[in-house]
Amino acid sequence: MASFVRTGRKIVAIGRNFAEHAKEFNNAVPTEPFFFLKPTTSYVASGGRVEIPQGVIVHHEVELGVIIGKTGRDISEAEADSYVAGYALAIDMTARNMQDAVKKKGLPWSAAKGFDTFTPISSFIPKESISDPHNINLWLKINDTFKQNGNTTDMIFRIPRLIQHISSIMTLEEGDLILTGTPSGVGPVEPGDTITAGLAIPSSSSSSPLATLK
């Protein structure tokens, strides 16, 4: 599954899965998970450049990605872990002013979330490297300033529940990516900014993160 960026067919992104982030925009904390789709053409590898389209306010949302290892539908929470091949660090770039406009009109989020380069992604992290995906530090800096610094323990819906929910609607396939939601601190990026993000195990004796994106 190291080739998920090339071979995967969908990106399923969970909205508002951290209470503090939901509150940033005065959104209600959800009572069940919801998701949107991003196209795989939005992937960009670490070191790449993120597009800032004319007139668009682009926000960063650092997230833990879950990579699916085998095909399944109607997966139970109990079985969910066996469908996980590994993880990745991702940023769910969002055209916030476009999203605000379509939300008011009840229109789809797909354009606001779907520009080329709107899903910066790390390389594949094997499942064995992360013993507890619900205790992972996620951080993001713009230039030298920390903007997001959260922990996946604060997810409202945990990974097995996300897999159960998505797969109750659509088949998950090998190479699909689930974006599990962002902690608080999202905000705009400007042309010329450097975005650095990291994913690390808090208890790790090593100070080096498992993944970084730049």
Contact residue for a copy of itself among 73, 82, 132, 153 (CB under 8 A)? 73
Contact residue for a copy of itself among 2, 29, 45, 107 (CB under 8 A)? 107
**Under 8 Å between Cβ of 183 and 63:** no
For residue 82, give the nearest of 91, 71, 92 by alpha carbon.
71
Token digits for 164?
A: 């159960």
Who contacts 144 (Cβ-Cβ below 8 Å, separation ≥6)? none
116 binds a copy of itself (CB under 8 A): yes
Q: Which of residues 161-200 bind a copy of itself (CB under 8 A)?
A: 169-171, 173
Alpha-carbon distance of 40 to 60, in angstroms, equals 18
42 binds a copy of itself (CB under 8 A): yes
Alpha-carbon distance of 157 to 136, in angstroms, equals 15
Q: Which of residues 51-70 bind Mg ion (CB under 5 A)?
A: 61
Contact residue for Mg ion among 108, 111, 126, 168 (CB under 5 A)? 108
Residues linked to residue 179 through DSSP beta bridges, in sequence order: 13, 65
Nearer to Mg ion, 83 or 118 (CB): 118
Residues lying near Mg ion in the complex (CB under 5 A) are found at 36, 61, 92, 108-110, 182
Residues lying near a copy of itself in the complex (CB under 8 A) are found at 9-10, 12, 15, 34-42, 53, 73, 102-104, 106-111, 114-116, 169-171, 173
